[in-house]
Amino acid sequence: MASGNAIRGSRVGAGPMGEAERGESAPRIRISFWCSNGHETQPSFAGDAQVPETWDCPRCGFPAGKDRDSPPDPPRTEPYKTHLAYVRERRSDADGEAILAEALAKLRGEI
């Protein structure tokens, strides 16, 4: 037996909606973008919107351009660097030896 709730399973404002209730939709344009892997994506933009030069490919994530024959290059990924790798870029081995000797002298109470 059904309970007394007549609108069960529906939401407020539910019902058939047509263009008359929603208003006119804005004119749209579809632009094709291609990535370096050859994937094509066609996002839609408002007719008066400024279309960007690049768009991220939803399949591979690479940047995609409007020119099919020369898409943008994929981003160059650099491997993760440790803190020690950054220190070695800034200091030579001689600098490291001098800093270590100074720190050891301080620990031994010589300074």
- ∠ CA 70-73-79 to the nearest 5 degrees? 165
Residue 16 belongs to a domain: no
| CA Rg value for the chain | 31
Q: What is the pLDDT of residues 76-88, one digit of tens each?
A: 888 899 998 898 8
- In this structure, the answer to whether residues 59 and 37 fall within a common structural domain is yes
- In this structure, the answer to whether residues 35 and 58 fall within a common structural domain is yes
Residue 41 belongs to a domain: yes
CA distance 52 to 70: 16
- In this structure, the answer to whether residues 32 and 60 fall within a common structural domain is yes
Q: What is the pLDDT of residues 21-48, one digit of tens each?
A: 667 778 999 999 999 999 999 999 998 9
pTM over 0.85, yes/no: no
Residue 6 belongs to a domain: no
- Binding positions for Zn(2+): 35, 39, 57, 60
- Binding positions: 35, 39, 57, 60
Name the residue range of residue 88's domain.
Answer: 79-110
Q: How many domains does the chain have?
A: 2
Residue 46 belongs to a domain: yes
